[in-house]
Structure 1
C-alpha cells in the first residue's frame, strides 16, 4: 500500500515537472525579438533568429520602427534618411552608404520578405546613416521583448552587444611592421607595411610627409634611406605615437595612398632631377605584335617626365586565346579592339595622351591591365567590352560600370561572366572557383584605397553617360559590380559594355564602323567634359 502511494506521488511530481518545463519552454519560444531603443526610448520589438554564433535581426523592422524611408528593388534594399542613402545587396558582405562602402560581419539575407543582418552590423550601419545626416541620436538594444525567463536567456548576448554600442571604444591600432623601398624611372616608392584595424594618418607639408602609427618595433637603422641624396627619414615618438617623416631632398611632388592585401601605405616621391634608365613594364603602349606573347615585355627606355596632359588608358577587353562573348557571327575581342582604337583616336584629337593596353589580338591577364595603367600613372582607365545575355533574354543599350557592390542581380551575374576570364590565367581554376573569388571580392571593397576612387569613378561614369545621351546613343544605365579588371586601379576606372552582342539588331550595329565612330566621339566628349568641368 505504502509503495503504491509513493509511486503515485512520484508520478504526480514527474507530471508536474514535465508540465512546468513545457510551460517555460513555450514561454521562451514565444519571444521572437529584442527591444530597439532610440536615445534610450524603446520603440518596439525587432524579430531575431540565431545563425551559428550570430544573432540575426530583421533590419526592415528596425527601419520601420525608426520611421525611415524604405524601398526594395529585387535583391537590393534601400534605406533613406535626410538625403542620405544606405544600400544593401542580398548576400554581399558590405553595404553602400552614399559613396562609401561599409564592411559587415555577415551578408544581409532576404528570406520570406524579411531582410536579416547580424545585430552588430545592423546597428553599426544604421548608426552610420544617422551620423552621415548629422543626427547625434543613439541606437541601442534594451533587452528582450517578452517574459523575464527569456530576458535571462538573452542576457549573455546582450552583454556582448552593449560594449560595441554604449561603452567607449578603444582607439584602433595601426602598428608599423616593416619598411620597403623601390626605385623606378621617375620616382622612389616607400612602402609601409602595417597591422591593425586603423589606417596610418599622413600629413603632407611642402616636400615632406609625416606618418603617424600607434606603435612599431623598428629602429632608426631599420628606417634608414637607401637613397639619402634624394630622400631623408626621421623617426620620433610623441604621446605614445610613432611618427615617421620623409623629406624629398630634391623637391618635387608626392603621391600618398593605401593598398589592401596586405594592408600597406605607399608614398611615391618624384624628385625633380632626372633618374637613370630603368626597366618598366610595356612603356608607351608598345605591346609586341606577336600573338604568341601572352604578357607585356620589359624594355629599356630613356628617362622622360610624364606629360602635363591627362593620360587615359583604354583597355580592349579579352583578346588572344580569350574570345569573350561569341554571337551572331561576331567575336567580342575583335569588337572591343575596334571600338578601343577609335576611342583612343577621338580622345587624342582632344589634346589628351592615350595608351592602349593591347593594340593587337594578344591575351592579357585581368590584373596586368590595371598594372599597366598604374605603371604609366594614368589619370583614367576605361575598359571596353560587349554585353551578352543567355538565350531567351533580350536587352539593348550601353551600360557603364564602376567597381563596387552590385546594383542588382543582373550586374552581379555580368561580373561573374566577365571574371571567368580568370580561368585562363593558368588553367587550374574552375568557373566555380572563380565565381567564389568574385564573391570574395565583395569583402575587399570595404578598404579605404578603393573607397577613395569610388566617388571619382562615379563622376566619370556619369559624365560618359550624359555625353552618350547627348549624342543620341541608347544609354541603358550606370551600375555597379565587382569586376576584377577594375580592381587595383589607382585612378578613376570604369568598364563600358558597348551593347548586347547577343541581340541580333544590336550586334549588326556594333559591327558598323559608323556606329563605332559615333560611339567613340560621344565617349571622348565625356572624357573631355570630366577633365574640364569635373576638376
Structure 2
C-alpha cells in the first residue's frame, strides 16, 4: 500500500521482474493527484512547474534538468508503466520536493514494505541507497556514484551460480586502465553465469549468446586472449591473462552484468580509457599530426591561459550526411564550422577543428582529438532532415543523454548510422543496437560526468541564438555516439532542416551562416567567461 506521511492512500499493482518488485507508477501518480502525459515511449509526470520524464527501457529519469538513477529500467507494457518499487518512491519523492511539498512517501502493509530496501542494502554503495528517499543528484555525485558502482561490489562468494534460469549474453564491453584491464558481460537472466577461475584464466559459461563470436575478440590480444566455444545450448568463454597479475570477478545487478578485472604485475604507464563500448570496436590510437589540423593561436597552457573550443564539422569524405534540395550536409557543416571558428577566435579564444576539408573521420576520433587537445568545450555541427511528408524548421541543440522524446531518439539513430561506414561488417540494424546499448549505459550513470555542464552550454547557446533573432527550436537530449567519451562539456547543433526548401536556401546563404556563427560564438563566450 502507498502511504503519505504514514497514512495509506491506496493500493498499487505490482509485478515481479527477476528478483525485483515492479510497481505501477501510473497508479501511484493518480493516487497522489499528479498530472501525467504519455507520449510515444515517454511518460511525463508533473506537479506544478516540476516535471519528471520516464523513458521506456531507460534506467534513469529526468527530474526537471537533473538525472536520477533507478535500480532497473522502466517498462512500458500494454499502456502500463512499471518502475522498481524503491526507485518509484525515490523519483516521485524528488518530484514532490521540487514542487515544494514536504510529504514523505513510503510502502505500508504489503510485501513491498522493506523488500526493495533489503535488496538495495545488499548492493551497498554499488546502487542507490534506500536508507532515505532521494533527491535529484548533481553531475559530481553521478561521477562518484559511477566510480563506487564499479569498485565497491560483492565478492565472488556472494554470486548466485544456480543455473535455474537461462543466462543470455547480450554484449561485451572492454575497459583499459593504468593498473588493469576490465571485461564487462551484459546478460539477461535471473542468475549470474557460471564462473571458474584457474590460474591466470577465467572461464565464463552462458546458456546462450545473442552476439556473434566475432564480437568477442580481445581489443588487446597481447594482454588478454579470448577463446569461445558455442553450441546450440551454451556459450563458453575463456579469458587468459598475459599481464602477470591477479584477477577479480564480481557481479552487478539492475541490469545484470558480470565484471572481470585483470591486474598488471606492475603499474606500467598505459593510456587510461573510460570504457571501450564493444569488443569488435578495435582500439584506435589517434595521432593529431596525421589529421588535418588548422593553426591555433597561442597555447592552452600558455601565459594567456586561453580557453580552447574544438569544433567538429559532422560527416565528411565518403559520408555525405543528409542530402536534400541540392545540398550535402557535409559541405554545409564545414562552412558553418569555419565561420564559427573565425568568430570564436575574434572573441579571444583558441579554436581547433577536427577537420578543415572534405575528409572522413570516425565518430570516436572526433572526441578523442578534443580530449587529446584538452579542450574546454566540444561542438559538433550538423544539419537536420525529416522523412517525406514531415515538416519542421529551426535550430536544435542536443546533449548526450537519455532521449527527450521519440524524435530525438530517431535523430540519434540516423546520426549514429555513420558507424556503418567504419566497419563494413556492421549493418544499420547492428548500429541501431549499439545506440540502444549506449542508451542503457547512460541509464547506468557511466557516461554522465559532464551532463550538467553540457546542459548549461546548450542553454547559453540557445539563448544567444534567440537574442540574435534565430529560429531556435529547442534544447533536447539523445544518445549521440559522436559526443560519447568527451571529457569536457559537449553539444551537438543541428543548424536547420535540409528537407525544408526555404530553410535549405537559408542554410546555404553566406549571410545567414555569418549571423548564425556570430550568435553561437556569443553564447560560447558568455559560458566560458563565466568559468
Normalised by the shorter chain, which TM-score bucket? 0.5 to 0.7
Deviation at 1:162, TM superposition (A): 5.1
Closer, same or farther: CA 67–168 of 1 in aligned 2, 3 Å: farther
1:161 corresponding residue in structure 2: 116
SS in 1 for 2:318: coil
The count of corresponding residues between Structure 1 and Structure 2 is 401
Once residues 458 and 118 of structure 1 are traced to their aligned partners in structure 2, the CA distance between those partners, rounded to angstroms, is: 27
Once residues 82 and 112 of structure 1 are traced to their aligned partners in structure 2, the CA distance between those partners, rounded to angstroms, is: 28
Q: Does 1:87 align with 2:53?
A: yes
Deviation at 1:407, TM superposition (A): 0.9
Closer, same or farther: CA 397–218 of 1 in aligned 2, 3 Å: closer
For the Cα contact (< 8 Å) 2:325–2:501, is it kept in 1?
Answer: yes
1:482 corresponding residue in structure 2: 479
1:276 corresponding residue in structure 2: none
Match of 1:323 among 320, 325, 328: 320
2:331 corresponding residue in structure 1: 334
Deviation at 1:128, TM superposition (A): 4.7
After TM superposition, the score normalised by the length of structure 2 is 0.66
2:275 corresponding residue in structure 1: 261
Which range moves more in the overlay, 452-461 or 415-424? 452-461
Q: Does 1:282 align with 2:293?
A: no
Deviation at 1:330, TM superposition (A): 1.0
Q: Does 1:104 align with 2:70?
A: yes
For the Cα contact (< 8 Å) 1:468–1:475, is it kept in 2?
Answer: yes
Q: Which runs of 5+ in 2 are unaligned?
A: 127-147, 156-175, 181-246, 253-260, 278-284
Deviation at 1:281, TM superposition (A): 2.5
Deviation at 1:429, TM superposition (A): 1.0
Q: Superposition RMSD on alpha carbons, in Å?
A: 3.9
Match of 2:519 among 518, 522, 528: 522
Once residues 479 and 451 of structure 2 are traced to their aligned partners in structure 1, the CA distance between those partners, rounded to angstroms, is: 12
Deviation at 1:455, TM superposition (A): 1.4
After TM superposition, the score normalised by the length of structure 1 is 0.66
Once residues 476 and 349 of structure 2 are traced to their aligned partners in structure 1, the CA distance between those partners, rounded to angstroms, is: 26
For the Cα contact (< 8 Å) 1:101–1:446, is it kept in 2?
Answer: no
SS in 2 for 1:392: coil
Which range moves more in the overlay, 167-176 or 53-62? 167-176
Deviation at 1:329, TM superposition (A): 1.1
Closer, same or farther: CA 131–303 of 1 in aligned 2, 3 Å: closer
Once residues 28 and 84 of structure 2 are traced to their aligned partners in structure 1, the CA distance between those partners, rounded to angstroms, is: 12
Once residues 348 and 292 of structure 2 are traced to their aligned partners in structure 1, the CA distance between those partners, rounded to angstroms, is: 26
Match of 2:81 among 98, 112, 115: 115
2:508 corresponding residue in structure 1: 511
Q: Does 1:57 align with 2:23?
A: yes
Once residues 469 and 372 of structure 1 are traced to their aligned partners in structure 2, the CA distance between those partners, rounded to angstroms, is: 31
**Greater Cα radius of gyration, structure 1 or 2:** 1
Deviation at 1:222, TM superposition (A): 5.4
Once residues 274 and 47 of structure 2 are traced to their aligned partners in structure 1, the CA distance between those partners, rounded to angstroms, is: 31
Deviations 1:309-341 (A, max 9, x none): 110101000011111011111111111111111
Closer, same or farther: CA 334–378 of 1 in aligned 2, 3 Å: same
For the Cα contact (< 8 Å) 1:260–1:447, is it kept in 2?
Answer: no
Once residues 512 and 181 of structure 1 are traced to their aligned partners in structure 2, the CA distance between those partners, rounded to angstroms, is: 53
1:180 corresponding residue in structure 2: 178
For the Cα contact (< 8 Å) 1:320–1:362, is it kept in 2?
Answer: yes
Matches within 5 A, 1:18-57: 35-50=1-16, 54-57=20-23
For the Cα contact (< 8 Å) 1:59–1:117, is it kept in 2?
Answer: yes
